[in-house]
Amino acid sequence: MNRITQLFETRRMGILSVYFTAGYPEPDNTQAVLEALQHGGVDMAEIGIPFSDPMADGPVIQRAAMQALRNGMSLRRLFGQLKDIRRTVQMPLLLMGYLNPVMQYGFDAFCRSCADVGIDGMIIPDLPFADYMADCRTTAVRYGLKVIMLITPETSDERIRLIDGHTDGFIYLVSSAATTGAQHAFDDDRLAYFRRIDRMNLRNPRLIGFGISNRATFDAAVANASGAIVGSKFVQLLGETASPAEAVTLLKKKLMING
């Protein structure tokens, strides 16, 4: 069974998924970051593929992506770093990145490499849903991979129903139409949006991302979905601390998660 499916069958609430940019701050720390996240009790990890034009990302992840590219990170290098990852890391793993490097690698080859190293799914924010249905879905299913789609406050109910009916794993509920980045709290409009999606009774579980950085935003996410995705705050902490383990410890303190 796909590990993403297994996670959501086992737990429906309080899930924490953490994003980091591969190759940042050090070029070869991917395994160390993943092991630190697992040891720290994180439920799932999203490994960012650095790209030179990360249009949906805020300044923290943009800077991390630029540094990772300067460090020599590429998809081929990343797959090399991940080839033995399942010897030590059991939690679900996704690759998250933009369509350009994936298509340069070749979508079939990308899916095959993902399956070979034990990746469970992918998030490609700029993959149009129509292109996913026409060109990508069959290939991803053949390799046992989940393609996670994003929805925003501007996504119509009709499109949300379409995504819910033709994907599985989970739906990435973007907290706002802005770029990624930490927020102190979600305003009434964001909370109303979360509640509106909850009332739709979707088939897929949901994780809320963009802006999760402290206890208030984490609690709001887990109260309105199956859990939260943290990105910019963890990437920031990776750049400020001496080790991935220290960054995970500080993140849990920021979110006020025990254990």
* In the block, residue with structure tokens 């509106």: 196
**Nearest Cα to Cα of residue 230 among 60, 70, 90, 80:** 60
Instruction: Evaluate the CA torsion angle 156, 160, 42, 92 in order and state its sign.
Output: negative
- pLDDT for residue 184: 65
Given a cut of 60, is residue 181 above it in pLDDT?
A: no
In sign, the C-alpha dihedral spanning 244, 245, 249, 255 is positive
- Model confidence at 31, in pLDDT bands (50, 70, 90)? very high
For residue 211, what pLDDT is reported?
A: 87
Q: Is 198 helix (H, G, I), strand (E, B) or coil?
A: helix
**In contact, 193 and 151? CB cutoff 8 Å:** no
246 catalytic residue (yes or no)? no
Chain mean pLDDT for the chain: 94
- Phi, psi angle pair for 20, to nearest 5°: -145, 160
- Quick check: 147 and 138 in contact, CB under 8 A? no
Confidence (pLDDT) at 257: 81
Cis amide prior to 27 (ω within 30 degrees): no
Which of the residues 57, 120, 164, 168 is marked catalytic?
57
The answer to whether 157 is a known catalytic residue is: no
Per-residue pLDDT tens digits for 6-25? 999 999 899 999 999 999 99
pLDDT surpassing 70 at residue 56 = no
Q: Under DSSP, is residue 44 helix (H, G, I), strand (E, B) or coil?
A: strand
Strand partners, 150: 172
Average pLDDT of span 81-107: 97
Q: Of all residues in the chain, what percent carry a pLDDT higher than 70?
A: 96
98 Cβ contact partners less than 8 Å away, ≥ 6 residues apart: 49, 51, 53, 54, 55, 124, 125, 126
Q: Are 36 and 244 in contact (CB under 8 A)?
A: yes
The closest alpha carbon to 19, from 50, 186, 115, 240, belongs to 50
Rounded to whole angstroms, the Cα distance separating 227 from 231 reads 14
Q: pLDDT tens digit string along 139-170? A: 999 999 999 999 999 999 999 999 999 999 99
Contact 15, 226 (CB under 8 A): yes
Q: Which of 239, 232, 173, 231 is nearest to 202 (CA)?
A: 173
Instruction: Please tell me which residue in 9, 28, 35, 46 is annotated as part of the active site.
Output: 46
Long-range contacts at 104-113 (CB < 8 A, ≥ 24 apart)? 105/75, 105/76, 107/135, 107/136, 107/139, 108/139, 110/75, 111/139, 111/140, 111/142, 111/143, 111/145, 112/143, 113/75, 113/79
- Phi, then psi, of 231 in degrees rounded to 5: -125, -75
Q: Where does the pLDDT of residue 57 fall: very low under 50, low under 70, confident under 90, or very high at 90 and above? A: confident
pLDDT band at 178 (very low <50, low <70, confident <90, very high): low
